[in-house]
Amino acid sequence: MNRIPAFVDILINTFTTLITQFIDFVPRIIGAAFIIAVGFGVAKALSILVSKVLARVGFNRIGDRLTEIDFIKRLKTEIKLSEIVAKILYYFVLLIFLMAATETLGVSAITEMVKSLVDFIPRLIAAAIMLQVGVLVADALKGAVVTLCQSFNIASGKLLGMIVFFFFLIITLISALGQAGINTELLESSFNLLIGGVIFAFAIGYGFASRDVMANILSSFYSKNRFYEGQTIRVGEAKGTIIRIDNTSLTLQTGDTVTIIPLQSLQSHNVEVFK
CATH number of the domain enclosing 248: 2.30.30.60
- 214 occurs within a structural domain: no
Q: What is the mean pLDDT of residues 93-115?
A: 79
Residue 151 vs residue 243, higher pLDDT? 243
Do residues 142 and 233 both lie within one domain? no
Residue where a domain stops, chosen among 173, 208, 243: 208
Q: How far apart are CA 161 and CA 143, in angstroms?
A: 7
Q: What is the mean pLDDT of residues 93-105?
A: 83
Q: What is the mean pLDDT of residues 44-63?
A: 83
Do residues 25 and 64 both lie within one domain? yes
Q: Is residue 101 scored above 80 in pLDDT?
A: yes
Do residues 70 and 31 both lie within one domain? yes
Q: How far apart are CA 60 and CA 167, in angstroms?
A: 27
The contacts of residue 157 (CB under 8 Å, 6+ apart) are 145, 146, 148, 149, 150
The domain in which residue 256 lies consists of 226-274
Do residues 77 and 119 both lie within one domain? yes
Quote the number of domains for the chain. 2
- 216 occurs within a structural domain: no
Do residues 197 and 232 both lie within one domain? no
The answer to whether 241 touches 231, Cβ cutoff 8 Å, is: yes
pLDDT, tens digit (0-9, with 9 covering 90-100), for 209-235:
555 555 555 555 556 567 778 778 787
Output the pLDDT for position 1: 46
Do residues 248 and 198 both lie within one domain? no
pTM > 0.75 = no
Q: Is residue 199 scored above 70 in pLDDT?
A: no
Per-residue pLDDT band at 45 (split at 50, 70, 90): very high
The residue among 142, 147, 180, 178 whose CA lies nearest residue 161 is: 142
